């Protein structure tokens, strides 16, 4: 009976050990994905972020700005947001940042989470710019000076021009 228990225990340990061998491979590739993009984007990813969103942002990153543009040759802020939401979530947002502002659920800036929209105001004090929140005060947007880029909401120009935050229904 003792020999039977010993072999049963040995078998259980072997099976648990064998299962553990397969887990790190998946975890390692996941970890490598997030580490790669954390380094590339300068954002501390923890592995819970939406991979499709990261890949869509990567696709557009560096695209030059063009007013009214809606392609990799040149894009404005609202078309960039619209294209990412269509690609990642299958949601068609309105074409302008002001129209987007009117269809989102307004949230407090302290409640921002991945894929929420960040609205900035122009000199006329109205919504004139939109970006996609990522995490830890990082957001991605299309700027006139540098095209599609990642910035921090805590940078002075964005602190001063922050207008509102909103969550797209269905996300």
- Decide if 59 is catalytic: no
Q: Report whether 75 contacts 149 (CB < 8 A).
A: no
Largest distance between two CA atoms of the chain: 85
Q: Kindly give, in sequence order, each residue whose CB lies less than 8 Å from that of residue 121, ignoring residues fewer than 6 positions away.
A: 127, 128, 129, 161, 162, 163
**CB distance 143 to 152 below 8 Å:** no
Among candidate residues 13, 70, 102, 141, the one labeled active-site is 141
Alpha helices in the chain (DSSP H): 2-41, 51-60, 77-89, 97-103, 156-161
Q: Which of 13, 77, 79, 102 is catalytic?
A: 77
Q: How many CA atoms lie within 13 A of 27 on its CB side?
A: 6
- Whether 102 is catalytic is no
3-state secondary structure 40-86: HHCCCCCCCCCHHHHHHHHHHCCCCECCCCEECCEECHHHHHHHHHH
- Whether 141 is a known active-site residue: answer yes
Give the residue numbers marked as catalytic.
77, 129, 141
């Amino acid at each position: 009976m003792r020999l039977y228990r010993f072999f049963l225990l040995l078998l259980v340990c072997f099976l648990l050990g064998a299962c553990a061998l397969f887990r790190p491979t998946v975890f390692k590739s996941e970890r490598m994905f997030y580490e790669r993009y954390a380094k590339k984007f300068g954002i501390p990813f923890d592995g819970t972020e939406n991979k499709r969103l990261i890949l869509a942002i990567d696709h557009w990153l560096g695209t030059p700005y063009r007013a009214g543009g809606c392609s990799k040759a040149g894009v404005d802020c609202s078309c960039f947001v619209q294209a990412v939401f269509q690609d990642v979530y299958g949601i068609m947002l309105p074409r302008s940042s002001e129209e987007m502002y009117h269809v989102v659920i307004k949230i407090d800036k302290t409640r921002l989470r991945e894929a929420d929209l960040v609205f900035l105001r122009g000199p006329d004090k109205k919504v004139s710019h939109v970006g996609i929140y990522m995490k830890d005060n990082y957001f991605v947007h299309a700027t006139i000076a540098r095209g599609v880029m990642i910035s921090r909401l805590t940078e002075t120009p964005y602190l001063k021009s922050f207008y509102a935050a909103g969550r797209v229904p269905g996300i």
